[in-house]
Structure 1
Amino acid sequence: MEKPNTKVVNFQEYKDRKNKREVNRDELLKLIKKIVTSK
């Protein structure tokens, strides 16, 4: 019963990391847009 549990936890961690990466990309895009519009 322990192995499926750790798999679920790992999946949650993977999803969290993926979400963070998505957010970072969005923030980067916003920053780039700001820089482009400020020039």
Structure 2
Amino acid sequence: MNAPEPPRYEPSPSAGKLLVWIMVFVLAAIAVVLGGVYLT
């Protein structure tokens, strides 16, 4: 078999890191909203 080519379906590390930051931001926003509703 020939040398395996780099997979093209895997996201780049930068895209994965961006996705993690988006998830953290969304979770933080949800926590703020739930906290605001709970305190009011």
| TM-score band, normalised by shorter chain | 0.7 to 0.9
Which protein is bigger by CA-based radius of gyration? 2
Structure 2 alignment gaps of length 5 or more: 1-5
1:14-36, Cα deviation, whole Å (9 max, x unpaired): 00000000000000000111xxx
Tell me, in whole angstroms, the C-alpha distance in 1 between the residues paired with 2:20 and 2:31: 16
TM normalised by structure 2 equals 0.71
Kindly report the root-mean-square deviation, in angstroms, between the aligned alpha carbons of the 2 structures: 1.7
What amino acid maps onto 1:30 in structure 2? V
Identity %: 3
TM-score normalised by length of structure 1? 0.73
Greater helix fraction, Structure 1 or Structure 2: 1
2:12 is aligned with 1:5: yes
Runs of 4+ in 1 over 2 A off after TM superposition: none
1:36 aligns with none
Counterpart in the other structure of 2:23: 16
